[in-house]
């Protein structure tokens, strides 16, 4: 994160909303303070109602104060924030926006490099994209144009395909950054490094060595005030199709796990509300040796060798090994080799939006969702969405319904309970 970005304007549609105040403005301010952004960088917040730059800067000051930013950094950051009232969003309104951006660019010596963040409902996409086109703000003749699209990326295969069609009517795929904050988490990115940068892990990452993969995304809170939304979306749309599928893809390094590498290896997934604690964890259970050397001596390992990767909270990993206890008779004890982010790194890990917004400004699409991935993931779950199975109730504060016990592997052995 050491190379500065090019001079540019970052434009937030829906910039007066909750996401902008809680996440986007603090993230942009932090990467600005840390020196990652070019000095010729400005933020333009677009809203409906009239407001002066200074009036909105007061809103921004409060947002940055709420996340604990020092006052000196707040003052330095908000001086680069501007506000523009779009009005009703007519073609003339968008031409007015184009004029404002051109004026800001000329005053600050910024070429027409524009990153548009669309923090708006999906139904507003066509009007926004069309307005940008009418105003000539998609043109890349003298600079670049990037469009950041927030979730949801559809509610099923048909709606995802329609949304992609609407986007591609106005922008090319290399201009589009479908953002999912989950992919910006340092612990999620570490999955790739852990998997590919360590030779002993890479050589064991297949059906010959791995017996099962378990992915748990548990939430301690209930649906709260989102009951109406959750009744419609359910866990499959809310968590499985996006976050959990992305984790599965990173573990398998492919969207289809019915392949030679993973043939016969079950991938177990669970998620739910009101579980004992909030956790995102991946457990890789390795196969046992065909013969237990120490069993004939009256001792053997109690469980399989398990690599546990915890993404949150207390991100890190642990790998359990057997050692000999001192003395006689021969006894084995299982101990963990552990790594914990907070204990090892003194600095605070960057918020996922800091990582992702900086990648947008650098033009790096690695951590963003491609159109093909969106449609493929909805296609995978289409049979379940079209013919949903009967829901199973479970008691709040437990790890799920008793019906999950029908799985072939005993529950006590399948689901890892220990936390890193």
C-beta neighbour count of 126 within 10 angstroms: 14
Catalytic annotation, pick one of 36, 84, 243, 406: 243
Judged by DSSP in three states, 1 sits in coil
The distance from CA 176 to its chain's CA centroid, rounded to whole angstroms, is 16
- CA distance readout (Å), 321 to 208, 289, 334: 19, 14, 5
- Three-state secondary structure string covering 180-235: CHHHHCHHHHHHHHHHHCCHHHHCCCCCCCEEEEEEEEECCCCCHHHHHHHHHHHH
- Three-state secondary structure string covering 119-158: CCCHHHHHHHHHHHHHCCCCCCCCCCEEEEECCCCCCCHH
Contact predicate 248/267, CB 8 Å: yes
The DSSP annotation for 348-369 comes to PPPPHHHHHHHHHHHT--TTSB
Rounded CA gap, 21 and 23, in Å? Answer: 6
Instruction: Establish whether 168 is a catalytic residue.
Output: no
Which residue in this structure is represented by tokens 């924030």?
81
Judged by DSSP in three states, 317 sits in strand
Contact predicate 356/23, CB 8 Å: no
- Three-state secondary structure string covering 267-293: EEEEEECCCCCCEEEEEEEECCCCCCC
* Active-site amino acid positions: 243
């Amino acid at each position: 994160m050491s190379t500065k970005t090019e001079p540019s304007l970052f434009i937030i549609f829906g910039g007066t909303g909750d996401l902008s105040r809680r996440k986007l403005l603090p993230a942009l301010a932090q990467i600005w303070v840390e020196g990652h952004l070019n000095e010729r960088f400005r933020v333009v917040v677009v809203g409906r109602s009239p407001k002066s730059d200074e009036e909105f800067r007061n809103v921004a000051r409060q947002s940055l104060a709420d996340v604990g930013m020092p006052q000196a950094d707040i003052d330095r950051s908000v001086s680069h924030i501007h506000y523009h009232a779009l009005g009703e969003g007519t073609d003339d309104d968008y031409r007015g926006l184009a004029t404002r951006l051109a004026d800001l660019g000329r005053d600050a010596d910024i070429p027409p490099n524009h990153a548009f963040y669309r923090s708006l409902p999906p139904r507003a996409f066509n009007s926004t994209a069309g307005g940008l086109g009418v105003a000539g703000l998609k043109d890349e003749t003298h600079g670049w144009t990037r469009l950041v699209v927030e979730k949801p990326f559809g509610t099923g295969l048909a709606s995802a395909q329609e949304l992609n069609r609407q986007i591609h009517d106005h922008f090319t795929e290399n201009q589009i950054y479908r953002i999912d904050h989950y992919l910006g988490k340092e612990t999620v990115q570490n999955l790739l490094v852990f998997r590919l940068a360590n030779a002993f892990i890479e050589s064991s990452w297949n059906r010959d060595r791995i017996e099962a993969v378990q992915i748990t995304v548990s939430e301690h809170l209930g649906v709260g005030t989102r009951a109406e939304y959750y009744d419609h979306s359910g866990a499959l749309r809310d968590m499985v199709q996006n976050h959990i599928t992305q984790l599965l893809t990173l573990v398998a390094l492919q969207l289809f796990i019915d392949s030679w590498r993973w043939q016969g290896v079950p991938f177990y997934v669970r998620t739910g509300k009101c579980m004992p604690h909030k956790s995102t964890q991946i457990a890789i259970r390795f196969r046992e040796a065909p013969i237990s050397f120490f069993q004939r001596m009256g001792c053997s390992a109690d469980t399989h060798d398990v690599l546990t990767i915890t993404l949150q909270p207390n991100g890190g990993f642990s790998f359990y090994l057997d050692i000999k206890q001192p003395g006689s008779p021969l006894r084995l004890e299982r101990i963990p080799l552990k790594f914990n982010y907070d204990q090892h790194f003194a600095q605070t890990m960057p918020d996922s939006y800091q990582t992702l917004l900086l990648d947008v400004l650098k033009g790096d699409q690695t951590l963003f969702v491609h159109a093909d991935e969106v449609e493929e993931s909805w296609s995978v779950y289409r049979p379940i969405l079209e013919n949903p199975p009967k829901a199973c109730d479970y008691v709040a504060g437990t790890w799920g319904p008793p019906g999950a016990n029908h799985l072939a592997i005993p529950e006590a052995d399948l689901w890892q309970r220990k936390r890193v």
